[in-house]
Structure formats: structure tokens, C-alpha cells
Structure 1
Amino acid sequence: MRPGPGQHLYSAFHDLIAPFRDSGTNTTKFTIHWISAHSEVVGNEKVDEEAKSAAQGASTARPFLPDCLKRPLPIGKSSLLQLAKEQRTENWKASWLTSPRRKKMKKIDKDFPFKKFGKITSELTRRQTSILVQLRTGHLPLNDYLHKRKLAPSPLCQACNEQRRETINHLIKECPAYQHQRRKLKRAIHGRGLSEPLLLLSDPKRVKPIIQFIEETKRWTNGRMTNPTPS
């Protein structure tokens, strides 16, 4: 039999029946059937009742227990995986609570551990997901971001003559070079204001219109940000 959950019980049962199985002419045959949980099998329901009773302390006296039950039972694989998952989540939460990025991200998405984000990205292409991640983290390679890292000669927006830093807010809600795209965005988000555009990034119904706006500005071409000629 291939090892799996409950294998130690299967082995222990074989050890218990060994004297009866190898008793010559009085050999007794046993058949083991695995029954799925919640199958409404009378015997299975009785086992569940006994297990609950034992868990509450109503167990057979230790001297009458088989040897395999006088010592701690092995921990099942599924239990170990569940425990590891819970510990990983707790460690993640503890690390996140002390992270300097927590305060900034909380303004965008309060839904830690960001289960809604997974649902949103499941409906986006890989390219759109990349844009969304960069919007949420503030790493969209606009001139203001690139200039701070000495990757652009100027932090100013080159699409307009406003002499404004090209930030995410400027791109989405201010730059006059993208008025047409912005009107389309406002229609798509059904009247939601753009005073704080990053707050819309946790709204599944409004994330895609913002990403489409970014794409339509043509600032994102072939996976790279391109600088347009000033209007």
C-alpha cells in the first residue's frame, strides 16, 4: 500500500491482527475499507462520536490501550502543512506590522493580507499586473521616480509645459496632455473623483480603467516608459 494519511494506523492495525491472521487452521481474514468523511455511514458516524468523546477526555484506561496508543501519535502531513502555513502567515503579519511600507500601502489597500489583490490580478494580463504592482508600490518609472535614482536627466513631465514633476498623481489627474484619456477614465469609474487616484487601486471595478488610462497615454511602450514630445 502506498504511504499516505493514516498510514501509521494501517500499520498498527496489521500488528494487532497478526496473531489472529497467522493462527494456522483458525486463521481469521480481515478486510480494511477506507470510508470518506461525511458519507453518512453508520459505522463511520459511530467512530466520529467516539473520537469526539476521546478528545473530551473519555478515553479507555491506559493499561487497556494497545501499545501504539500509549505514545503520542505521529503528526499527519496535512496537519504539518497547515501548521507551517499558519506560522508563515503569522510571521508575515508580524513583519508587515513593522514594515516602513505599511503606512503607505494602507492608504491604497487596507485588506491585509491583500486577498482582494489576488482576485483583481486574476482578471488582468501579465503586462497589466506589472503596471498595477508598480502603481501600488510607487515604482512606476515616471521621470520623478527615475530622476531620484539618477536614471533621468529631469524629474519634470515632458508631455506638458506646466513645469511639474511627473508623478503618478500628475499623470493621472493633472497633466493637460492627457485630457482626452482622462475624460474616458472618469466615465469608466462612474463619477468617482480623481483627487486620490491611488485609493481606487483596491477597487476591482476601477483598477482596469486606470491601467487602461496608463496604457492609452503611450507612456508605456514595449515594457518601457517613453518620453513624449511636449505638446
Structure 2
Amino acid sequence: MLWNDGVMTVFAKRAAKADGRKTTLPRSFANLLQATWQALRIPSSDFPKHVPSFKTPAEKIADALNDLEKGRAATIFQLRTGHCPLNDYRQRFKKSPMKYCRTCGVPENVPHFLLYCRNYRPQRAAFRKRVKAEKLRTNLFAANAMLDDPMVFPFLADFVLETGRFEHLRSYLPDPELDPKG
């Protein structure tokens, strides 16, 4: 931490507001530093609750998403950020009457959708079977691991499409009868 006039002003204002008789200086420099960091610390309640931590560089993720069809890439991106049409997110904006999964009765968030929901067991089993057939070394029992591996994205997009949970996804896909390639 750089000590500058702004930091000292903050400490001076805090000291002026506090009753000087009740506070004592720490006995050692280490204790002083610890007390300073405690005073500057942001309460954990101010941080978002579900912040995923991904290790794959953003460039690799962007390249993998560019290789996918637009709707599938958007869906993977939504799952990675948590901003997706699942009840836990939609309920924040009053777009869903409840944040719970209709089948399981627990908050319907990304990990629940990808790993636990009983409603999508057959699709999940087929997804895991396809990923294992490709011999990808991804932990299929951790949502962050699946969402952090670009090689899994096509299979994950197929899983989401098969579940039918993301209604908007079908509107992006080309109609096979109208598609001249297919």
C-alpha cells in the first residue's frame, strides 16, 4: 500500500470522529499494519456471492466461442457469467415468481442446472458419455471445470439445447430445411 496524503486524510478523519480515549495504539508495527488492513477491509457482504474463478486465458475462451454458432456461444457465455434464464437469476428482476427449481425445490442456478437437476438426468448422462468418448480430461462433476474447458463447449451447448431449458436458443439455430449446407 502506498502511503499518500489521501490515505492519511482518511485515517485523520476516522481518528477525529472516534473518541481518542477509547483507542490505544498497537504495541508493534506488525499489529499496526494488521489494524490498518482491518480498517480498510471491505465487508464480505459487499462482494457478489457467486463469482466463478476461471483459469483458462480469456483469449482461448474467446477463440472457442467464436468457433461455435452464435446462439450456442451466447448460451455458454451466459452460463459462465451466471446471467442466464434460470430462475435464480430471473427472480432478481421479477421475471420469475420464484428462484427455485420446479422439480427439485432448490435454487435453480448454473451448478444446479449443469450437475444436479433430476429433470435433466438423461441429457446429462448423454453429455458425459460424449465427453468421455472424446477422451477429454475435464472434471464433469464441477461446473467451473466444465465452463473453463473450451474443448467441452460444443458438448455443453448440445446438452443445453437437448434440455430445452433455454427457450431462446432455438431461435438462433438455422432451420435444416432452409439451410443450403445441410
Give TM-score scaled by structure 1 length. 0.47
1:104 aligns to what?
Answer: 51
Rounded Cα–Cα distance in structure 2 between residues aligned with 1:189 and 1:134:
21
1:210 aligns to what?
Answer: 156
* Identity fraction in percent: 26
1:182–1:213 CA contact under 8 A, matched in 2:
yes
Call closer, same or farther: CA 1:132–1:198 in 2, change over 3 Å. Answer: same
Q: 1:220 aligns with which of 155, 166, 180?
A: 166
Aligned residues: 119
- 1:72-221 to structure 2, matched below 5 A, reads 104-105=51-52, 107-111=53-57, 114-158=58-102, 160=103, 162-190=104-132, 192-221=138-167
Call closer, same or farther: CA 1:115–1:217 in 2, change over 3 Å. Answer: same
Q: Tell me the secondary structure at the aligned position of residue 89 of structure 2.
A: helix
CA deviations on 1:47-94 (whole Å, 9 max, x unpaired) are xxxxxxxxxxxxxxxxxxxxxxxxxxxxxxxxxxxxxxxxxxxxxxxx
RMSD of aligned Cα (Å): 2.3
Rounded Cα–Cα distance in structure 1 between residues aligned with 2:124 and 2:89:
22
Offset at residue 110 of structure 1 (A): 4.1
Q: Tell me the secondary structure at the aligned position of residue 166 of structure 1.
A: coil
Offset at residue 148 of structure 1 (A): 1.9
Rounded Cα–Cα distance in structure 1 between residues aligned with 2:75 and 2:145:
15
2:99–2:108 CA contact under 8 A, matched in 1:
yes
Rounded Cα–Cα distance in structure 1 between residues aligned with 2:76 and 2:51:
15
Q: Where in structure 1 are there 5+ consecutive unaligned residues?
A: 1-99, 225-231
Larger Rg over CA atoms: 1
Rounded Cα–Cα distance in structure 1 between residues aligned with 2:72 and 2:109:
19
Offset at residue 194 of structure 1 (A): 3.1
Rounded Cα–Cα distance in structure 2 between residues aligned with 1:217 and 1:153:
21
Call closer, same or farther: CA 1:166–1:149 in 2, change over 3 Å. Answer: same
1:17 aligns to what?
Answer: none
Rounded Cα–Cα distance in structure 2 between residues aligned with 1:222 and 1:104:
25
Q: Where in structure 2 are there 5+ consecutive unaligned residues?
A: 1-46, 171-182
CA deviations on 1:175-229 (whole Å, 9 max, x unpaired) are 11111101011112227433322222232221111121111110122348xxxxx
